[in-house]
Chains A and B, each alone.
Chain A
Amino acid sequence: MLLSVRDLRTRFELDEGELWPVNGVSFSVGTGETLGLVGESGSGKSMVALSILDLVPAPGRIVSGEVDLGGEDLLSMSGAAKRRVRGGEIGIVFQDPSASLNPVYRIGDQIADVARLHRGLGRVEARREAVHLLGDLGIQQPEKRARAYPFELSGGMRQRAQIAIAIAGRPRLLIADEPTTALDATVQAEICDLLKHVQGEFGMSILLISHDLALVADVADRIMVMYAGRIVEVGHWTAITQEPRHPYTKGLIGAIPHLGAGSGSPLEAIAGTVPDLTDLPDGCPFHPRCPEAGEDCRSAVPRLQDVGDRLCACYRVKHTEAVT
């Protein structure tokens, strides 16, 4: 395993009370694997990404857990060792490139800086590498674009530039946090293809975070479904999309619009809204919205268990032999 996250808990202490956007999350990413992390806004997906890098913003704090990268726990490393991991071992692409690119520096310099920091390249080499990466990521006239400032590029080009920055340190894991959400639909598919391309070229693992299950299913080998700070179902992408077993995953699949599904059929939606993380219900956090909820669901939080072909956290899902 390249990355193993074990029982990660991140707490925010706010005036309204404390909340746990990451509440006992465990998973691992294999070398060269693409793992998808799916959930609604506010389920804690992005906080998982920031917790892995130990960059949780105040007033948040990682309370417990391990982020094991090649046998070493990132959370207990020295500051310098953490900085070598950030950008060097784990690269991250954020949702909105216009917010995460520095507005007053040229794109090429922002890429070259990372290549110099993590790969010890000289000024000229790093510069050449920046142009090369931009070209490799499908940007026309990369020399010219490398000299451009972020505001001079289109949204799609900015996101490509951000990917170039994220891979400039040759990380072994690329975290992509909603990499297509801020982009046009046509550009979304291009960015997905690009992530696959990058993975093929550099053999890196990808943790793809999105609220869009259809997009994740397109790219990921395995899919994790997150709800209210917890992982509720993990499995091979076909298992999750073809045969979802957790009621929440079923709801998510049902809510994907299908082209030509008949204009008359209404789009299914999950009843209710994402719960307030400062005021979670007792028991399974999904039970107030769950069509299958029973009395037992109100008493204790169901644990993530091996149910045969996947892990699932639901009292209604019993162990079955994998049907393959």
Chain B
Amino acid sequence: MLAYIVRRLLLSVPLILGIVTATFFIAHLAPGDPVDLYLQPHRQVDPEVIERVRHDRGLDRPLPVQYANWLTSSARGDFGESFLLHRPVREVLAETVPYTLLLILAALLVDALLGISLGVVSAVKRGTRLDRTVTLGSLVLYAMPGFWLALMLVLVFSVRLGWFPTSQATSLDYASLSGPGKLLDRLWHMVLPVTVLGVAGAAATARYMRGRLLDVLGEEYITAARARGFRGWTIVRRHAMKNAMIPIITIYGMSLPLMLGATTIVETIFAWPGMGRLTVDAVLGRDYPVILATTTVAAVLTVLGSLLADLGYAAVDPRVSYDGPGN
């Protein structure tokens, strides 16, 4: 198992390198110059100043040289300094990545709990009004664009009802709150963004889970379990669920990159101080060091997600082993 994990991680190095390289050249080939953007408000700027800024940031060197420099320094863990924030990228990442991970993990939890339970209920109560309601509801939620759902939630629950904050991760008086108060404040701010991120996934999970469970419930070993005298829910829980979960785990592994993409929108709408919003700001401001760093982080997270899914797969399905001969 350990050998497999090491091998997978080694194999992911060229993949991440490829992603980062592509990002580097796409970012630089895109029209627009960070220095122009940076200096635009001042209009009449001494060309010498422009040249100096350009030189300080290494932007006057040929692209391959810039690429090589970036690669060697980032391999040492130095992602350079943000053009916009004038702070080391590593510091900025350390501040924003935890916020994004928090959002994604909470959304995955909502996705799993809500999606799996709705899918199971829907399959067990197949053909009933409940099943049809869940099916219709999940289709509507799945088809709904995330940004629109986010704006509607803000409109209804923040602006009209005032139940949840419109944006940010904490209240203004956060520092003065007690320990439990701080936790509650954070959870309160998470409700809307996590709902937007988790609900679409939950809708998809419910659909997959329903279909998969119905397949499994039609298997002969389920008839056999009934013939052995087990009761309905025991059969679903103990005999069918584990089999039905196998493909769902694969789907979760693939959902991580989708979630990372979705956080850029959700974090921007909710002014969530995470990596997604940072990336959007960096792209708009041609902040190359930040773009490259967040892409690298996203690539690493994606690779780890799919590795975790494969390991989870082996944990659930005894027929999958990474230790057998040939590995």
Contacts and interface: CB of A to CB of B under 8 A. Distances in A.
B227 A99 contact: no
A50 B227 CA distance: 8
Interface in B284-327: 316-319
Contacts of A165: 228
Nearest to B223: A55
Given A149-B318, A151-B319, A102 B229 contact: no
Contacts of B227: 53, 55, 86-87, 92
B220 interface: yes
A96 B229 CA distance: 19
A109 B319 CA distance: 17
Contacts of A104: 242-243, 246, 316-318
A55 B232 CA distance: 13
A94 B224 contact: yes
A151 B229 contact: no
A204 B258 CA distance: 58
A104 to B, nearest CB: 5
Given A96-B220, A117-B230, A102 B318 contact: no
Interface residues of B, number: 21
Interface string A238-274: 0000000000000000000000000000000000000
Contacts, number: 71
Contacts of B219: 99
B239 interface: yes
A83 B221 contact: no
A100 B239 CA distance: 11
B318 A57 contact: no
- Residue picked from B230, B317, B318, most chain A C-beta under 10 Å: B318
B319 A103 contact: yes
A103 B317 CA distance: 8
A86 B317 contact: no
Interface in A88-121: 88, 91-92, 94, 96, 99-105, 113-114, 117-118
Per DSSP, chain B at the interface is helix
B128 to A, nearest CB: 15
A99 B223 CA distance: 10
Interface string B211-246: 000000001110111111111000000110011001
B222 to A, nearest CB: 8
A149 B318 CA distance: 7
Contacts of A103: 221, 243, 317-319
A295 B221 CA distance: 47
B226 A84 contact: no
Given A149-B318, A151-B318, A101 B221 contact: yes
Q: Select the residue from A86, A104, A117 with max chain B CB neighbours within 10 A.
A: A104
Interface of B: 219-221, 223-231, 238-239, 242-243, 246, 316-319
Interface of A: 50, 53, 55, 57, 79, 83-88, 91-92, 94, 96, 99-105, 113-114, 117-118, 149, 151, 165-166, 169
Given A103-B317, A104-B242, 10 more contacts: A55-B226, A84-B229, A86-B227, A87-B228, A100-B223, A104-B317, A117-B229, A118-B229, A149-B318, A149-B319
